[in-house]
Amino acid sequence: MRPDSQNVTDYTNDNTIFLVWNFKENLAVRDTFHRVCKLLINLNNSANVRFPVSRASCVMGIGHDAWLRLGLPEPLPKELVNFSPITGEKHTAVASHGDLHFHIRADTTSICYDMAAAISDVLAPVAVSAEEVHGFRYWDSRTILGFVDGNHKVIGRLDEVSEQLKMMLDCQKHMAETGESGLH
């Protein structure tokens, strides 16, 4: 069976959950891994049949160490290596260990939660959740993928934001000292 490529950048969604799991030491994990693989096929098929307009999908990535532990086919994919920190002039992207990585996305939040819960139920006996990050579109419907690019708009207004924060803290302090609720 030849695996089909999974589309991860064809379109954006309103909601996403990123999960990272690490296998527990000294446990057999291969059978559970096969269960998770079958589960993902079922989750994707079920979401596409039941909610065709939701654009729901779940993509799984396998870390270098997990690939070896699971005895998956060799030679390993050329780019499959343990993630190393990426150090820039100002910032560093840290390297978190992860055996299994999941990118769940849909236009409906409940589908993302349901997929994450099903994956967690299968993995919990043999693995530990190392990371769970939720993303969503905010009120103005900007995509979560553009968040970093949009920061330049905020950086230029930090003095204004700082002044507003100071006023809010002054108000909270006054209300705490006087017992006023701030509502009239």
Active site residues: 149
Q: What is the DSSP letter of 77?
A: P
CB 120 within 8 A of CB 33: no
Residue from 41, 38, 56, 49 nearest 110 by CA? 56
Give bridge partners of residue 132 from the DSSP assignment. Answer: 19
